Structure 1
Amino acid sequence: MANEINLDNKFIEKLTRIAQLDDQIDPSLYEKYDVKSGLRYADGRGVLVGLTRIGDVVGYEIEPDGSKKAVPGRLIYRGYNVEDIVQDTERTKSFGFEQCAYLLLFGELPTQSQLDEFTTYLGAIRSLPPNFTEDIIMKAPSADIMNKIASGVLASYSFDPDPENRDVANVLRQCVELISRFSSLAAYAYQAKRRYVDGKSMYIHNPDPKLGIAENLLQLIRNDKKYTRLEAELLDLALILHAEHGGGNNSSLTIHVVSSADTDTYSAIAAALGSLKGRRHGGANIRVMEMMDDIKAHVKDWSNEKEIADYLRKICRKEAFDHTGLIYGQGHAVYTISDPRAKLLRDKAELLAKEKGCMEEFNLYKTIERIVPDIICEVHGNKKRICTNVDFYSGFVYTMLNIPRELFTPLFAIARIAGWSAHRIEEIVAGRRIYRPAYKNVQGERPYIKMEDRVEV
Structure 2
Amino acid sequence: MLYPETKSLSKEQMKILCDEYRRNNYIDIEKSEKLGVKRGLRNADGTGVLAGLTNICDVQGYDKDENGKVIPKEGRLIYRGYDLNDLCETAVREDRFMFEEVLWLLLVGELPSKIELETFRQMLAQHRELPDGFAETMIMGAPSPNIMNKMARSVLAMYSYDANPEDTSLENVLSQSINLIAGLPTMMVYAYQVYRHIYLHQSMYFHFPINGVSTAEHVLATYRGDQSYTHEEAKLLDLCLVCHADHGGGNNSTFTDRVVSSVGTDTYSAIAASICSLKGPRHGGANLQVMHQLDYLMRVGVDPTSDASVKNALKGILTKQMGNGSGLIYGMGHAVYTLSDPRAQILKKNCAHLAKTSGHEKEYDMLCMIEKLAPECMKEVNGTKKHICANVDLFSGLIYRMLGIDEVLYTPIFAIARIGGWCAHRMEELEFNNRVIRPAYKYVGPDMTTKQ
Counterpart in the other structure of 1:99: 101
Counterpart in the other structure of 2:261: 259
The TM-score with structure 1 as length reference comes to: 0.95
Among residues 422, 437, 440, which one is paired with 2:424 in the alignment? 422
Q: Structure 1 residue 64: deviation in Å?
A: 2.3
Q: How does 1:283-298 map to 2 (within 5 A)?
A: 283-298=285-300
The 10-residue stretch of structure 1 (162-171 or 351-360) with the greater mean CA deviation from structure 2: 351-360
Q: 2:61 touches 2:337 (CA, 8 Å); kept in 1?
A: yes
C-alpha distance in structure 1 between counterparts of 2:59 and 2:25, whole Å: 35
C-alpha distance in structure 2 between counterparts of 1:199 and 1:12, whole Å: 34
Among residues 124, 127, 136, which one is paired with 2:126 in the alignment? 124
Q: How does 1:134-149 map to 2 (within 5 A)?
A: 134-149=136-151
Question: Which amino acid in the other structure matches residue 177 of structure 1?
Answer: N
C-alpha distance in structure 2 between counterparts of 1:81 and 1:92, whole Å: 17
Q: Structure 1 residue 345: deviation in Å?
A: 0.3
Question: Which amino acid in the other structure matches residue 370 of structure 2?
Answer: I
Q: Is structure 2 residue 364 aligned with structure 1 residue 344?
A: no
Q: 2:124 touches 2:179 (CA, 8 Å); kept in 1?
A: yes
Among residues 379, 382, 404, which one is paired with 1:380 in the alignment? 382
C-alpha distance in structure 2 between counterparts of 1:9 and 1:159, whole Å: 43
C-alpha distance in structure 2 between counterparts of 1:271 and 1:398, whole Å: 25
C-alpha distance in structure 1 between counterparts of 2:304 and 2:445, whole Å: 54
C-alpha distance in structure 1 between counterparts of 2:47 and 2:354, whole Å: 36
C-alpha distance in structure 2 between counterparts of 1:56 and 1:6, whole Å: 47
C-alpha distance in structure 1 between counterparts of 2:202 and 2:451, whole Å: 58
Q: 1:126 touches 1:209 (CA, 8 Å); kept in 2?
A: no
C-alpha distance in structure 2 between counterparts of 1:129 and 1:355, whole Å: 40
Question: Which amino acid in the other structure matches residue 397 of structure 2?
Answer: G
C-alpha distance in structure 2 between counterparts of 1:13 and 1:233, whole Å: 53
C-alpha distance in structure 1 between counterparts of 2:114 and 2:186, whole Å: 26
Q: 1:234 touches 1:349 (CA, 8 Å); kept in 2?
A: yes
Among residues 160, 169, 177, which one is paired with 2:171 in the alignment? 169
Partner secondary structure for residue 88 of structure 2: helix
Counterpart in the other structure of 2:78: 76
CA separation of 1:6/1:254 partners in 2, compared to 1, >3 Å: closer, same or farther? closer
C-alpha distance in structure 1 between counterparts of 2:432 and 2:8, whole Å: 54
C-alpha distance in structure 2 between counterparts of 1:68 and 1:142, whole Å: 44
Partner secondary structure for residue 375 of structure 1: helix
Q: Structure 1 residue 318: deviation in Å?
A: 1.1
C-alpha distance in structure 2 between counterparts of 1:118 and 1:282, whole Å: 28
Counterpart in the other structure of 2:3: none
C-alpha distance in structure 1 between counterparts of 2:34 and 2:192, whole Å: 48
The TM-score with structure 2 as length reference comes to: 0.97
In the TM superposition, what whole-angstrom CA distance separates every residue of 1:288-323 from its partner, at most 9, and x where no partner exists? 111111111112433222111111110001111121
For structure 2, list consecutive stretches of 5 or more residues without a partner in the other structure: 1-5
For structure 1, list consecutive stretches of 5 or more residues without a partner in the other structure: 451-457
C-alpha distance in structure 1 between counterparts of 2:78 and 2:7, whole Å: 53
C-alpha distance in structure 2 between counterparts of 1:446 and 1:294, whole Å: 52
In the TM superposition, what whole-angstrom CA distance separates every residue of 1:110-165 from its partner, at most 9, and x where no partner exists? 11111011011110111000000000000111000000000000000001111111
Q: Structure 1 residue 83: deviation in Å?
A: 0.7
Question: Which amino acid in the other structure matches residue 88 of structure 1?
Answer: T
Partner secondary structure for residue 73 of structure 1: strand
Question: Which amino acid in the other structure matches residue 337 of structure 1?
Answer: L
Question: Which amino acid in the other structure matches residue 111 of structure 1?
Answer: S
Counterpart in the other structure of 2:64: 62
Q: Structure 1 residue 6: deviation in Å?
A: 8.5
C-alpha distance in structure 2 between counterparts of 1:263 and 1:208, whole Å: 33
The 10-residue stretch of structure 1 (356-365 or 14-23) with the greater mean CA deviation from structure 2: 14-23
> Over aligned residue pairs, what C-alpha RMSD do you find?
1.5
Could you tell me the percent identity over the aligned residues? 46
Q: 2:302 touches 2:313 (CA, 8 Å); kept in 1?
A: no
Q: How does 1:387-402 map to 2 (within 5 A)?
A: 387-402=389-404
Counterpart in the other structure of 1:434: 436
CA separation of 1:204/1:5 partners in 2, compared to 1, >3 Å: closer, same or farther? closer
Q: 2:304 touches 2:369 (CA, 8 Å); kept in 1?
A: no
Counterpart in the other structure of 2:186: 184
Partner secondary structure for residue 448 of structure 2: coil
Among residues 210, 227, 245, which one is paired with 1:208 in the alignment? 210
C-alpha distance in structure 2 between counterparts of 1:140 and 1:17, whole Å: 36
Q: Structure 1 residue 53: deviation in Å?
A: 0.5
In the TM superposition, what whole-angstrom CA distance separates every residue of 1:175-208 from its partner, at most 9, and x where no partner exists? 1110011110100000000001111110110011
Question: Which amino acid in the other structure matches residue 292 of structure 1?
Answer: L
CA separation of 1:5/1:150 partners in 2, compared to 1, >3 Å: closer, same or farther? closer
Q: Structure 1 residue 339: deviation in Å?
A: 0.3
C-alpha distance in structure 1 between counterparts of 2:7 and 2:263, whole Å: 40
C-alpha distance in structure 2 between counterparts of 1:6 and 1:252, whole Å: 35
Q: Is structure 2 residue 234 aligned with structure 1 residue 232?
A: yes
Q: How does 1:2-17 map to 2 (within 5 A)?
A: 8-17=10-19
The 10-residue stretch of structure 1 (328-337 or 14-23) with the greater mean CA deviation from structure 2: 14-23
In the TM superposition, what whole-angstrom CA distance separates every residue of 1:259-297 from its partner, at most 9, and x where no partner exists? 001100000001001100011101111111111111111
Q: 1:137 touches 1:189 (CA, 8 Å); kept in 2?
A: yes
Q: 1:299 touches 1:308 (CA, 8 Å); kept in 2?
A: no
Among residues 393, 409, 412, which one is paired with 2:411 in the alignment? 409
Q: 2:294 touches 2:366 (CA, 8 Å); kept in 1?
A: no
Question: Which amino acid in the other structure matches residue 291 of structure 2?
Answer: M
Q: Structure 1 residue 324: deviation in Å?
A: 1.6
Counterpart in the other structure of 1:37: 39
Question: Which amino acid in the other structure matches residue 385 of structure 2?
Answer: K
Q: 1:299 touches 1:311 (CA, 8 Å); kept in 2?
A: no
